[in-house]
Amino acid sequence: GIAKFFEPIVVFVRDDIARVNIGEASYQKFMPYLLTAFFFIWLGNMLGLVPFFPGGANLTGNISFTLTLALFTLVFTLFSGKRNYWKHIFAMPGVPWPLLVIMIPVEIIGVIAKPFALTVRLFANMTAGHIILLSLTGIIFTFGNAGWAGLSIPMSLFIYVLKLLVAFLQAFIFTMLSALFIGEAVAVEHD
């Protein structure tokens, strides 16, 4: 029963996210992290949509939660980085040495910007949906007229259904970008 539901999702994460972005040689090493991040974000977002569920707070609406997940990705990226990854950050091949003075800080900022982008993307998208729902509900009370409920409630239901899609989509995007960043670090040197 439940295994038949989760198996296609696990295969999807393995084949369409990890294998494609990390590479055939080393994707299996990162599958536990990618699957954990995917299901943790997805199920956390889904539980955050259930009203009055104990512990069902919007996990990804908390920036410290999304920052922690992004820092895990950064740690995996930095500690898995191969020689080629570090060479492109600190001694880019084919770049004259005077330009290295400019390029090295830019590359270091790029390494730091990746987890920042993961953090803000996940946090902002999930928080925006909750703010829209609260705003649509608040219209009824702001104008003090139940007539606004005829417009506000159908729009809120539409946004709520859209958030079901966004919950999965944000888990997918976070996992895909994490796999992409890790894949850049573990890529073998090529011509």
The tokens describing 132, both together, are 């829209």
Q: How far apart are CA 73 and CA 33, in angstroms?
A: 9
- 61: DSSP letter: G
pLDDT tens figures, 148-184 = 888 888 998 998 899 889 999 999 999 999 999 999 8
Residue 119 has pLDDT above 70, yes or no: yes
Cα dist from 146 to 51, 138, 139, 143, whole Å: 22, 11, 10, 9
pLDDT tens profile 45-96: 888 887 765 555 678 888 999 999 999 999 999 998 888 888 888 877 788 8
pTM, two decimals, is 0.86
- Cβ-count burial of 187 within 10 angstroms (0-12 exposed, 13-18 middle, 19+ buried)? middle
The pLDDT of residue 191: 43
Q: Which of 103, 126, 112, 125 is nearest to 181 (CA)?
A: 112
| Mean model confidence pLDDT for the chain | 87
Answer whether 30's CB lies under 8 Å from 18's CB. yes
